[in-house]
Structure 1
Amino acid sequence: MTDLMTEWAARVAETELSAALPRRWAHTQGVAERATGIRRLLGKDAGLLTAAATLHDVGYAPRLAVTGFHPLDGARFLRDGHGADERLVRLVANHSFALLEAEERGLRDELASEFPVLEEPLLVDALVYCDMTTTPEGGRTSVQERITEIIGRYGEGSVVGRFIRRAAPELVSSVQRIEAALAAQPR
């Protein structure tokens, strides 16, 4: 992916989120910043990661919320409204183990059939790392603090609360794999 892709992603995300959902826009900017910070791990896919990080929550935009499940709504918007790159759309659709939340919402088959999980573990883990180490305001946090914050914000018995508890071991493992890869990289 080129810088043109990341510039396009930033324009789309800003258009959809900045005015309608400024806190979500702040989070998105932080996630994109985190992606830029780990570019060296991704090589030729660094731009793809940054674009996915920038667009991962676009489905929260009120005008795009058709199903109310932001990964699915965002992926459909990117695919149908923009003809976006398939790998990008699949990353957005499945970010941070969205398939588990889709199951909680009765949308697993729909998500899985339209947007199969991308079988590129480094990219998948990198996007989880970026999302799960960024606060709602765009600052840095640990994955454990982020999980706790999400449960606190949505409630333990909510769909999101149930999902995040189920996904927690995978989220933590993804973040740990990226942290280990970053630590092993020469500076």
Structure 2
Amino acid sequence: MTMAADIGNGWAESPQAGSVAAVSLSATHTFSKTVTPVIRLLAGLGVEGDAHLGETVKHRSRVAVDPSQPNLRQVHLLSVELQAMLLAAGHAVAPGALGENITTQGIDLLALPTGARLHLGETALVEITGLRNPCAQIEHFQPGLLARVLGRDDEGKLVRKAGVMGIVVAGGLVRAHDAIRVTLPPEPHRKLDRV
């Protein structure tokens, strides 16, 4: 699906644009993923060769509750801007270290509404479903890291900063340096919540 196909019927092009900094995957349920030159997104499934590939939920805690749930977490995206903030705070992080499939640059992922679409490279399209809910694995990875990816807003509500999750609407290859273009769903926009 091209970006032009999204525009109209209330969809709008976002002024945000960025690029892919790195792509990663892991065939097993490891916390971190391995950076690779290219990943293939498969429509309705996720990242080819990744442990979270599938129409139904693959995260072990979610499978234990109900393995028939739809997989709204096919792709995990996280920004280099968050990684830079964590590095400045003394945490050793790099692309893939926090389990993301796509490391982005130049896009405020956390400010996107539910349903925003990221057009990646020539043909791939990911629809944002919600926020990653950071868990104790982050703290096991590096002590003190969980507190850095969680916060509170002015009203005392929990703020999750560990990236966003999405589903693959259109497949394709994604590589470092590919452009990312954003389209926004019709208003009113819904704020991202954990998925």
State the TM-score, normalizing by the size of structure 2: 0.28
Higher-Rg structure is: 2
State the TM-score, normalizing by the size of structure 1: 0.29
Q: In proportion to residue count, which structure has more helix?
A: 1
Higher relative contact order structure (alpha carbons within 8 Å, sequence separation ≥ 6): 2
